[in-house]
Structure 1
């Protein structure tokens, strides 16, 4: 699948993982499970999760924890891909 096709698919995805005030730990297993089922997963970082960091930093850390990569970030949302 081309990069443009993936970008279109990523844009059309619904958010299926939300990171809140409890941070990244509670969502790691859920994200792993979702990445086992699909190539792209959209993650929303709520204000309470961000604290003194930004979406890009949180997305990179989360992707590292599940052995994936950050495909795209926009605003407070990131798309993670296996």
Structure 2
């Protein structure tokens, strides 16, 4: 993992929070908008939304749905980055 990626995991403020319903279509659309705008997005997932999958599985799935790159996870936070062209 690159130094800038490790820094992003810790220092960036949470920009999107997922509620009890989990990753709904509206949450995924908001993440897509923010990735286009900010390049790096930090998503916090509520504990109650993690009943069937662990955080890394959710991060991988979210990266696929938003066409982004999973930078890493820490606790219940996922950091996604816009992929290079």
Q: If the length of structure 1 is used for normalisation, what is the TM-score?
A: 0.87
Asked if 2 retains the 8 angstrom alpha-carbon contact of 1:19 and 1:45, the reply is yes
* TM-score for both structures, normalised by structure 2: 0.84
Give the Cα separation in 2 of the matches to 1:62 and 1:6: 18
Render the CA deviation track for 1:14-45: whole Å, top value 9, x for unaligned.
Answer: 00111121111231010000001112111111
Please state if 1:51 is matched with 2:51.
Answer: yes
Q: Aligned partners of 2:74 and 2:8: how far apart in 1?
A: 15
Q: Structure with the greater relative contact order (CA < 8 A, sep ≥ 6): 1 or 2?
A: 2
How far apart, in 1, do the equivalents of 2:17 and 2:42 lie? 9
Cα-Cα RMSD = 1.2
- Identify if the C-alpha distance between structure 1 residues 53 and 38 changes in structure 2 by more than 3 Å, giving closer, same or farther: same
* Unaligned 5+ runs, structure 1: none
Q: Which runs of 4+ in 1 moved over 2 A?
A: none
